[in-house]
Amino acid sequence: METIYLLTLVILLIANLCSLIRAGLGPTLFDRILAANTFGTKTILLIAVYFFATGHPQYIDIALLYALIQYVGNIALVDYFNRQDERMGAPTDATTTNGPADD
């Protein structure tokens, strides 16, 4: 494996580790969702670089499939929390704010 591929893989692994730490320590739910999304994106890059490094770029379809699964999972997660907020009575409309009214 070439040195540049190895260096890229190590950097992506470190970035994934930082994302996992952020997901664990995130003070808000938004931080955790964002960290999970970042982890998924870095994993897609990790898979793609690995397959190019090993000389099998035809397996890039696995990275694309993982990207599709991640996208659908993120949409489902946002929809779940949006519905949960509706059940709790929290405003979900972007026009509803707690600030002063514009008269």
**Which residues fall within 8 angstroms of residue 52, CB to CB, at 6 or more apart?**
5, 60
pLDDT computed for residue 98 by the predictor: 58
Q: Quick one: pLDDT band at residue 81, thresholds 50, 70, 90?
A: confident
At 9-28, the pLDDT tens digits run 999 999 999 999 998 888 88
Contact call for residues 85 and 92 (beta carbons, < 8 A): yes
**Which residues fall within 8 angstroms of residue 19, CB to CB, at 6 or more apart?**
35, 36, 38, 39, 42
pLDDT computed for residue 46 by the predictor: 92
Tell which wins on pLDDT, 28 or 96.
28
At 23-67, the pLDDT tens digits run 888 888 888 888 889 999 999 999 999 888 888 888 888 889 999
Count of residues for the chain? 103
Look up residue 17 and give its two tokens: 């580790």
What stretches of the chain show up as alpha helix (H) in DSSP?
A: 3-25, 29-53, 60-88
pLDDT computed for residue 80 by the predictor: 86
pLDDT computed for residue 85 by the predictor: 75
Q: Enter the pTM of the model.
A: 0.71
CA distance 101 to 103: 6
Tell me the domain boundaries of the chain: 3-88
**Crossing angle between the packed helical segments 29-53 and 3-25, to the nearest 10 degrees:** 160
- Average of pLDDT values for 91-97? 54
